[in-house]
Chain A
Amino acid sequence: MERKIYIRILKDRLFKIFIILFSFLSTLPLFFILFHLIKNGISSLSFEFLFNLPKPVGEKGGGIANAIVGTFILILVSSFLSIPIGVSAGIYLSENKNKKLSNVVSMLVDILQGVPSIVLGIIAYLWVVRPMGRFSALSGGVALAIMMLPVIIKSTEETINLIPESLKEASLSLGVPYYKTFLLVILPAGLSGVLTGILLGISRIAGETAPLLFTAFGNPYMNLNIFKPIESLPHLIYNYAKSPFPEWHQKAWAASFILILIVFTLNILSKLVVKRWKVRF
């Protein structure tokens, strides 16, 4: 009997050690990534790197300002396209459970989430690039917007599912029309969830390269026109990393560091948003 209990305690301890060990292991890759990025990129990081345009190989200096601006423009374009559609679809899904159309939509959203990003790039190429006759930030934004959609739809749906039905009835019972009930009562109450979904969607697309290869295309110059090709951080990293020039490799490391920093900031921001706009029912 005594022995048996001793073995049980031992197993308990072992189990605890294992889960701690493995959870620590799962964070290791991130530390390695950060370590590498800082080690290899820090030498290129400078004020100039952030605010200058790229220079040809061989010339000293040069930066990635066009890619940083481009990434933000792409994020803006894709958010502008996907947020209204995604939030509306999320509202529809949570308001019409177990109806045929909403079940179909919900299933399609799940499938859309699994579509490889390169395929979305091809779709945007066929839909936007071909008819317009040129690569553009807009087409890249379309590809990224399709990627963001499922994240926004699902998070909006889940957020609104959590808002008590009684809140909606309170508003309706005052004679408030359905659309105002949603826009002025339900959405504000779920703002933190919806915003978090949007930020997570953005951080998901911020690092995408594949959908941009034949849509946004890349551009060594500063471009603010969404109807023209545009550079982006992931695309710049891709180009620099596969080049044969060691100094470009270093710039790719530094650009990766910046990209991770942006995604990291978005994640922290989404945590803050949850705290700030959390609504007590």
Chain B
Amino acid sequence: MESEILKIENLNAYYFDNHALKDINLKIPKNKVTAIMGPSGCGKTTLIRCINRLHELSPGARVTGKIFLQDKNIYEMEPMVVRRKIGMVFQKPNPFPTMSIYKNVLSGYNLNGIRLSKEEEEKIVEETLRKVGLWDEVKDSLHKRGTFLSGGQQQRLCIARAIALYPDVLLMDEPTSALDPISAAKIEELILKLKENYTVVIVTHNLQQASRISDYTAFLLLGELIEFDKTEKIFTAPSDPRTENYLLGKFG
């Protein structure tokens, strides 16, 4: 396997008494797209929310185990530092409604009090919006509010906002499930492009999506990691019968 950027060791997550993730061990390779799939309620979202430490903000949440980003255990780092290195894109597009498109892209800098010169700002905005394929669509309305864009454009703006901070890892929580098929296809294309510079971990309940865009796939069931392997292998010759049953649509 290629060099790994994230290493999850014996991760357990709880909501009050509910044991949501059980002894997860996972190595996520660098500059690849890793998909996490599984039926509803299997803990996919909880898993990626553990990776940027958003999980612990939910009521009753508890975590044991370790997650290493490169060689540092993120549970021994400040959550704010972790979240700057590990970006996240959510299920529903959520650009900041009070900010313009321009400010949305820069929000990671502005809200964190990082000062940039005008040239640096403009460079980051243009470069990032080009990366997400939004530049040509919005270059004349950079100072309009981001909420006036279409759903798919908003989601690409949210991706721009996350990658503007040059994170090591980009987490995506079902980023296309609230979008129409054409916008979803654009986002998928974008994800394939993003892996040149970023490591992407994407949660999806859409099997076709996982097979189309990911290099590696993890299959979660009832909080347990059933199987993790190259996507090709998972979809053609899974080693666990439960994976096969899931792929055949016998449950989930």
Of A169, A174, A189, which contacts B111 at CB under 8 A? A174
Chain B residue, CB-CB nearest to A169: B54
Of A175, A176, A180, A189, which contacts B97 at CB under 8 A? A189
Contacts of A185 in B (CB 8 A): 96, 98, 111
Task: Tell me whether B90 and A177 are in contact (CB under 8 A).
Answer: no
* B83 CB to nearest chain A CB (Å): 4
Task: Tell me whether A173 and B81 are in contact (CB under 8 A).
Answer: no
**Residue B92, interface by CB 8 Å:** yes
Chain B residue, CB-CB nearest to A174: B108
Inter-chain CA distance A177–B82, complex, in Å, is: 12
* Interface size, A (range): 20 to 34
In chain B, positions 80-133 with a C-beta closer than 8 Å to chain A are 80-84, 87-88, 90, 92, 94-98, 107-108, 111-113
Classify the secondary structure of B's interface with A: mixed
Interface centre among B81, B83, B94, B165 (most CB of A within 10 A): B94
* Interface size, B (range): 20 to 34
Task: Tell me whether A170 and B111 are in contact (CB under 8 A).
Answer: no
Contacts of B80 in A (CB 8 A): 175-177
Q: How many A-B residue pairs have CB under 8 A?
A: 76
Q: Could you tell me which A residues sit within 8 Å of B by CB distance?
A: 164, 166-167, 169-177, 180-181, 184-185, 188-189, 191, 279-281
28 A-B pairs with C-beta separation under 8 A: A164-B94, A166-B92, A166-B94, A167-B94, A170-B95, A171-B96, A171-B107, A171-B111, A173-B54, A173-B83, A174-B83, A174-B84, A174-B108, A174-B111, A174-B161, A174-B162, A174-B165, A175-B80, A175-B82, A175-B112, A176-B112, A180-B112, A185-B96, A185-B98, A188-B98, A191-B98, A279-B97, A280-B97
| Extra pairs beyond A175-B82, A180-B112, A280-B97 (15, CB < 8 Å) | A166-B90, A166-B94, A167-B96, A169-B57, A170-B96, A173-B52, A173-B54, A173-B83, A173-B90, A174-B112, A175-B80, A175-B112, A188-B98, A280-B147, A281-B97
